[in-house]
A and B are shown apart, each in its own frame.
Chain A
Amino acid sequence: MPAPAGRSIVPKAIRFELRLALRHLRVGGRQTLLTVSVVAAGVIIVIFMSALVFGLRQKLTADLTEAIPHITVQVEEVKPLPLAHIPGAATGASSSRIEQQASQQKYLDNWSQAADIVRRLPSVRTVAPAVREQGFASKGRHTVGVSVVGIEPALQDEVAPVSKYLFTGHYLGLSSEEIVIEGQLADELQVGLGERIRLTAKTDAHATFTIIGIYNTNQGRSEAYVTRRMAQSLFGLGTSVTVIFVKVRDLFEADHVAQHLTALLPYEARSWSREFPGFRASLRGRSAIVYLISAFSLISSSFAIASVLVVSVLQKSPQIGILKSMGARRRQILWVFIFEGLGVAIVGSVLGAVLGTALVYFLTFIRQPVTQMGQVSEQLFPVAVLPGYIALAMLAAITSTVIAAVLPARRAARLNPVEVMR
């Protein structure tokens, strides 16, 4: 208690309690240090876990946002219905014949109008009309089934990037006689840059292309990119396309936008989530794990604090008796121990926040080893430092510590001074 009657921001009513609590902590030395570390460890765990999981979530989201079209607009596939699902069909009726599927129009003939409608939606970022058809790629004796995509390279790069994954050659500036193929396809055909391959459509129409680029997304989709004009003529589509790729601003809004588009257009709009149904659930599951781990680490650290404070109260029992005999009220004793807990909590959580953030920061320097030519080295641990979450972790640590302090403090305040001074 150094300053006598000095001005202080601490209200007079609690000044003695606060001073004594701080003095306890200072004199407590190793024990105080231990308690502070327990709180700090809890906060570090929470920050660390959340940084990892939310970082992974952000990265997955970003990757997905970038790598795939969010919505594909195409002609709705007509699928045969089981008889039982057809209203009015005689009950018990059965069919043993599989009818030849009626020929369907597979292309969007008024696509530029449709693209305009899509483009006008505020949540839509990019619209890329394209031709996507199945065909065969052949070189010499090798023939491989391939998905041929006819695009405008610059526009398509915004929807499903290829340039980024090129490991040789180029993609932008693709001309009509040129083709960019996936690495695995190149392996199967045993071709390299500059060689020529032939694409054949189901109609037997064919054309030859020079390979000007090979890319590798590690996603195993065997695609070959040619110009949209070339694809239209190869597959006999005239000026039509078969699909409109759409990129929206918010990945998680895609379902909503797709529904809206299906209503607006005479075509079917499919959201990415129909292709990756587990993705959203797994993100949600990971977040739940973080909340669980956070809660448990906070609970266990508050148990640790409570036990340390219980011991501290036992040790200080004689002192509590003395304070009472000197006229200290119950509430004053209570406050001494609550302040003690609060001091531990504040120092511990600030320390934990600083160390946890530093740890997460250092993690960002660890890079993935480069295993493939042309691969850009990425962070081994994608992390997210979320100030809001850190603040929340600190607040939770402080709250749980104070709650853990209150119970022993109440016991301390109730002690009978005569009992404890014997």
Chain B
Amino acid sequence: MRDEMHSANGHVATEALDASVSLPPIVVETQGLKKTYGGKIAVPVLRGIDLQIRAGTFVAIVGQSGSGKSTLLHMLGALDMPTAGRVLINGVDLATLEEDELALLRSEEIGFIFQFHHLLDELTCLENALMPITIRHGTETEEQRARVIRLLQRVGLEPHLHKRPDEMSGGQSQRCALVRALANAPKIVLADEPTGNLDSRSGQEVFALMREVNRASGVAFVMITHDDRLAQAADRIFLVENGVLQEVEKK
């Protein structure tokens, strides 16, 4: 009986030990992901991609222009549908979701940052940053507002809260876009060349902030970049070439 107890305890202990030792949960996974652009002549872009990204990981994706990096990113964010294969976000197969469920998933689990900040000109910096919340809930709570303002303060935008995008610099706008991507506390942020349109100093700043948020909150980042220095600062680097993905050793 004592032995049994012991063994039972031991079993539990082992399991707990396994969990603590094992890696963080997978937030994004692809299985045999393929994308072919239609028309009379089918153009295969991605030929079968298997990828697993765990919570808190900062992933850089590099590759030639037109190699399909952006297509991959869009499919990870449920903005584009694969020709074959599966995308799982937090273990949920995107192919099983209706359009409104996809919208909900984008709103709750995913943040986007684009090469161009894509802030709405009609809204102020703060309103833009709050947008994922207001889209989802109609309006934000005091708590959510305070949180977003704190994030904006952290990226140095406090003096610009009520400015419109056209009154802000590119770097400021991109930092605002970063806060917007984080507004709903997503599990993963997908960034498509977030520094591509910035001078190198602003680019460095934005990247540093992304890395900082990633380390502080455990949000996974998938960032497409052409900047090798930034790629080297990520946790993992993947190269998209000839429609396949391969991990590249960091220098």
Contact = CB atoms under 8 A, between A and B. Distances in A.
Interface string A12-28: 11111001100110110
A321 B74 CA distance: 12
B99 A330 contact: yes
Contacts of B103: 324, 327-330
Interface in B110-138: 112, 114, 118, 120-123, 127, 130-132, 134-138
Nearest to A417: B79
Q: By DSSP majority rule, is chain B's interface helix, strand, loop, or mixed?
A: helix
A13 B134 CA distance: 10
A259 interface: no
A14 B134 CA distance: 10
A326 B180 contact: yes
A327 B136 contact: yes
Contacts of A4: 139-140, 142, 145
Interface in A316-337: 318-319, 321-332
B114 A421 contact: yes
Interface in A6-55: 6, 8, 11-16, 19-20, 23-24, 26-27
A327 B134 contact: no
A418 B137 contact: no
Contact of B130 (A1, A323, A327, A417): A1
A323 B122 CA distance: 13
A326 B140 contact: no
A417 to B, nearest CB: 5
Contacts of B105: 327
Interface string B195-236: 000000000000000000000000000000000000000000
A332 B105 CA distance: 15
Contacts of A325: 77, 79, 106, 112
Contacts of B99: 329-330
B50 interface: no
A322 B106 contact: no
A5 interface: yes
Contact of A327 (B74, B107, B121, B145): B107
A327 B132 contact: yes
Nearest to A21: B122
B79 A1 contact: no
B122 A5 contact: no
A418 B135 contact: no
Nearest to A3: B139
Contact of A319 (B100, B120, B180): B120
Nearest to B132: A326
Interface in B2-47: none
A317 to B, nearest CB: 12
Given A324-B79, A324-B103, A329-B103, A12 B122 contact: no
A165 B25 CA distance: 101
Interface string A183-212: 000000000000000000000000000000
Contacts of B93: none
A330 B100 contact: yes
Given A23-B123, A325-B112, A15 B134 contact: yes
A326 B145 contact: no
B97 interface: no
A5 B77 contact: no
B104 interface: yes
B241 interface: no
Given A319-B120, A329-B99, A15 B138 contact: yes
24 contacts: A4-B139, A5-B139, A12-B137, A14-B138, A15-B134, A19-B134, A20-B122, A20-B123, A26-B122, A318-B118, A319-B120, A323-B135, A324-B79, A324-B103, A325-B77, A325-B79, A325-B112, A326-B106, A326-B132, A326-B135, A327-B103, A327-B184, A329-B100, A331-B100
Smallest CB-CB A-B distances: 6 pairs: A327-B107, A12-B138, A23-B122, A15-B138, A329-B103, A16-B134
